[in-house]
Amino acid sequence: MSDPHSTTTGTGPGSSTGAGSSTATTRPDPLPRGGRWVAEVETSDVLTRDQRLPDEAPRGFWGSAWLRLRRRPMFWVSVIIIAVVLLVTVFPGLFSGTDPRAARLEDSLEGAAPGHPFGFTQQGYDVYARTVYGARASVTTGVLTTLAVTLVGIIVGSLAGYLGGWVDALLSRITDIFFAIPLLLAGIVLMQAFEVRTTWTVVLVLSLFGWPQMARMVRGAVMQAKNNDYVQASRALGLSRVAILVRHILPNCLAPIIVMTTTNLGIYIVAEATLSYLGIGLPPETVSWGNDISTAQSTLRIAPEILFYPAGALALTVLGFILLGDTLKDALDPKERTR
C-alpha cells in the first residue's frame, strides 16, 4: 500500500532519468491539499503578546495632545516667545532700569549708546526702555479683552446651543447683529465718544464687539456634545440642566475654546495697537507699542529704526500667539489628529 503523503517523480516520459527508471522522494505534508506543500502554521502565545506592561497606562485625550505637542518644534518656539513677552510684561524692571518717560531733548534722534542700545526718539525718550515698558499696556489690554470675550462668548453660546428653541433663535439673531459690525470700525466710532480713555475703556469697546465669534463657535460645539451618550445618561440619573452643562458638556468643549482664546490674544493686541496708532486708543501719555508707532511715523524717513523696534516687538508677540494657536489646533482638533 502506498503512502498517501508521498510524491513520486521521474516516471513520466520527460524524466531526466530515462525510461524505465524512477525515483521516489517523500516529504511531510502537514496539510495535504492535492500534493501541494503547505508550510507549518506559526504558533504564538496570544496572552503573552497581548498583555500590557504595568507602566504603560492608557493615555487620555489631554495626554495624547500633550504627547503630540511636545514633539513639535513650533510649539516650543511659541512657548519661548510668549514666556519672554510675559516676563517682560510683568517684570519690565529686570530688562531696563531707564525711566521710559524721561525725555532729554539734547539726545533727540541720537543713535545707540552705552545703556541705550536702540537710541533715542525725537523727543529724547529711550527707545529700548519704551519698547520694554510698552509691552505691559499692550499685552494687558489684549489679555483682559480676551478674558471678557471668552466669558461672554461661553455664556451666550452655551445657552443658545444647549437650550435651543426660541432661546437659540433670539441669542443667534443678537449674535448675528454684532457679528456683522467690523471690530475696528466699531472701535473707531465708539472710542471717540469717550472724553477720557483708559485701558478699561479700550477693553470695554473691544469686548462689546469681539464676543460673537466665540459665541458661535461655542454654540456649535455644545450642540454637537449634547447629543452624546454620556449626556443622555446624566439626564437619566436626574441631573439638572445646569449640572449637565457645567460638569459634562462644557469640559468636552474646552479644546476649541482654548485654541480660539490663544489666537484671540494676538488679535486684540493688534486691535489695541491699531486704535492707539490712530490716536483714539490709549492716551498719549501711556507707554504702549501703538502710541510709540504712531509717534515714530513722523521720523520714518530720517530714523526708521525708531519705528522698527516697537513694531518688531508687536509683530513677534502676535506671531508667538498665532503659532501657539496653530499647534494647539493640530493637537486638540480630532479631525487633525486623525491625519
DSSP symbols for 134-164: HHHHHHHHHHHHHHHHHHHHHHHHHHHHHH-
Q: How high is the pLDDT of residue 21? A: 44
pLDDT band at 13 (very low <50, low <70, confident <90, very high): very low
The more confident residue out of 110 and 35 is: 110
- 136-173: per-residue pLDDT in tens? 999 999 999 999 999 999 999 999 998 888 999 999 99
Q: What percent of the chain has pLDDT over 90?
A: 36
Q: What is the per-residue pLDDT for 109? A: 84
Among residues 20, 81, 176, 45, which one has the least CA distance to residue 10? Answer: 20
C-beta separation of 150 from 143 below 8 A: no
Instruction: Convert the pLDDT of each residue in 40-77 to its tens digit.
Output: 655 555 555 555 555 555 567 677 778 888 888 899 99
Calpha distance 185→231 (Å, rounded) = 41
How far, in whole angstroms, is CA 86 from its chain's centroid?
Answer: 17
Whether the Cβ atoms of residue 88 and residue 95 lie closer than 8 Å to each other: yes
Q: How many CA atoms lie within 13 A of 303 on its CB side?
A: 20
Q: What is the DSSP string of 213-255?
A: HHHHHHHHHHHHHTTSHHHHHHHHTT--HHHHIIIIIGGGGHH
Q: Using one digit for the tens of pLDDT, what is the confidence trace for 240-272?
A: 888 888 888 888 888 889 989 998 999 999 999
**Can you tell me whether residue 115 is helix, strand or coil?**
coil
Going by pLDDT thresholds of 50, 70 and 90, the confidence category of residue 26 is low
Residue with grid cell 470700525, as numbered in its chain: 185
Map out the domains of the chain with their CATH numbers.
61-98+117-337 (1.10.3720.10)
Find all residues with CB under 8 Å of 93, minimum gap 6, and list them.
none
The structure's pTM equals 0.76
- The pLDDT score that the predictor gives to residue 50 is 52
Would you state the cell numbers that stand for residue 108, as one nine-digit string?
Answer: 533727540
Which of 253, 13, 270 minimizes the C-alpha distance to 150?
A: 253
Alpha helices in 32-91 (DSSP H): 46-50, 61-69, 73-90
Share of the chain above pLDDT 70, in %: 80
Average confidence (pLDDT) over 116-144:
91
Question: Residue 128: its pLDDT value, please?
Answer: 92
**Mean pLDDT over the full length of the chain:** 81
Question: Cα–Cα distance between 245 and 230 in angstroms, integer?
Answer: 12
Q: Which three cell numbers stand for residue 25?
A: 522522494
CA distances from 301 to 180, 273, 283, 306, 331 (A): 39, 21, 25, 10, 45
Cα separation, 188 vs 279, in Å, equals 10
